[in-house]
Structure 1
Amino acid sequence: MNARGFTLLEILIAMAIFTLIGLASTGLLTTVIDSNALSEERFEKLQQLQRAMITIERDIQQAVPRAVRHNGEKQEIVMTGGMREDSDAGFIGFVRSGWDNPQMMLPRSTMQPVAYRLNEGKLERNYSNYVDNVIGFEPKTRVMLENVTDFKVEFIANEATRTRSMDDDELNWSESYTGAALPRAVAIEIVSEDFGRIRREFVISGATL
């Protein structure tokens, strides 16, 4: 019985089929890898957003009526916010408590001055180890969020009234605040290229709106 091999045309056709299968498999694998990389990047940004919002919430809800010395001089202002020259958008600065110092082992208190500002598309948290620092001290900076296009802070002062009646849920929000007492509430609004507009409202010192 005569053995019959493959013709050149059959071999070429088989090679073409295997090449197409290989190209399709490579394209699918590349798509899966790219999709996985995008998912990991998105998840990392989401984690950064969650950490930032948790930190902001903790700081604002632990705000205390403690004034900070400015250039060594005593002042009465305990919270300030609005537009500032050192911020590309909104700004807020105050002192917060609850900074862990077990058994007071570290040479500092449990209070910490903090401030939030927008700088070149980055939401920054400025802080220092001491409430009253020496003249010329530069605060430390931690980037909380990137790709931020706008940062807005609003306040309801202690003497705020409702815009229509006491039964109306609409309240007077102010875009700036400077006071010797803490406001009733603070709202933070962040516009992010990755997540759009995010707004959180916080009641201060247990005040009821």
Structure 2
Amino acid sequence: MQRGFTLIEILIAMAIFTLIGLASTGLLTTVIDSNDISEDRFAKLQLLQRAMITIERDLQQAVPRAIRYNGEKQDMVMAGGKLNGSDDDGIGFVRGGWHNPQLMLPRSTLQYVAYRLNENRLERLYSNYVDNVIGYEPKVRVLLEDIESLNIEFLAKSSNESLDEDEDLSWNESYKGTALPRAVAIEFVSKDFGKIRREFTLTTGGAS
């Protein structure tokens, strides 16, 4: 005589399978959420790496070339610290090495660039020409978002005079000089990665 399952046994089996299904769903949801978080963090890490490469390239190709400001010639080749247009520190200078194959484009290989903090965004400002006409607005590229602060320091003499090997140098919070400083340190606080500091040597092209 064959004996079937009782109603209680069926209900118990259904409850067990329901618990297994709920646990599996919860585990799958956790895995998917973790994967989304990992992908989002990896994407932000890639943005951070590209931003640092851009900053490093610009600073290591800095050249001692002054620009015209509002049509007037000046002697400063680099200015940095608390600058107008930035919510925190900023820096502006001319870089070389801007690729122009066989000089086919109507511009030089020099480019004026600047960095600033604007509404928690680290921005790179640039223009096609070193000396622009009065009223020209530079182009803006957002490198990073959710940046809480930006601090830029300069390894140079406080007097900003020409540098000799035997002179004592120190980190200064601002710089306006007719010669490039020995090094530039850029430090910012990211909401995602915390405090990040990079120091770039301008004279030897190294970075640490």
- The answer, yes or no, to whether TM exceeds 0.5 is yes
The letter of the residue matching 2:186 is: I
Is 2:77–2:94's contact at 8 Å kept on the other side of the alignment?
yes
Give the aligned partner of residue 163 of structure 1.
none
Q: Deviations over 1:82-139 (max 9, x none)?
A: 0123111100000000111111111111111000000111110000111111111111
Q: Say which SS state the counterpart of residue 173 (structure 1) adopts.
A: strand
Q: Deviations over 1:38-72 (max 9, x none)?
A: 10011111111111111111101100011111111
Distance of aligned partners of 1:190 and 1:202 in 2 relative to their CA distance in 1, 3 Å threshold: same
Distance of aligned partners of 1:26 and 1:171 in 2 relative to their CA distance in 1, 3 Å threshold: farther
The letter of the residue matching 2:44 is: K
Q: CA deviation at 1:156?
A: 1.8
Distance of aligned partners of 1:5 and 1:82 in 2 relative to their CA distance in 1, 3 Å threshold: same
Is 2:66–2:94's contact at 8 Å kept on the other side of the alignment?
yes
Partner Cα distance (1:207, 1:126) in 2: 22
2:200 to 195, 202, 205: 202
Is 2:157–2:170's contact at 8 Å kept on the other side of the alignment?
no
- Select the structure that is richer in strand: 2
Q: 1:1-209 maps to which residues of 2 (within 5 A)?
A: 2-157=1-156, 171-206=169-204
Distance of aligned partners of 1:128 and 1:207 in 2 relative to their CA distance in 1, 3 Å threshold: closer
Is 2:127–2:138's contact at 8 Å kept on the other side of the alignment?
yes
- Deviates most, 5-14 or 114-123: 5-14
Distance of aligned partners of 1:27 and 1:207 in 2 relative to their CA distance in 1, 3 Å threshold: closer
Q: Deviations over 1:151-196 (max 9, x none)?
A: 0111122578xxxxx99xx951110001111111111111111111
Is 1:184–1:207's contact at 8 Å kept on the other side of the alignment?
no
Aligned CA-pair RMSD: 2.0
- Counting matched residue pairs gives 200
Runs of 5+ consecutive residues of structure 2 not aligned to the other structure: 160-164
Q: Kindly, what percent of the aligned residue pairs are identical?
A: 71
Partner Cα distance (1:84, 1:118) in 2: 10
Q: CA deviation at 1:200?
A: 1.1
TM-score by length of 2: 0.91
Give the aligned partner of residue 162 of structure 2.
none
TM-score by length of 1: 0.90
Partner Cα distance (1:34, 1:184) in 2: 47
The letter of the residue matching 1:110 is: T
Runs of 5+ consecutive residues of structure 1 not aligned to the other structure: 161-165
Is 1:154–1:188's contact at 8 Å kept on the other side of the alignment?
yes
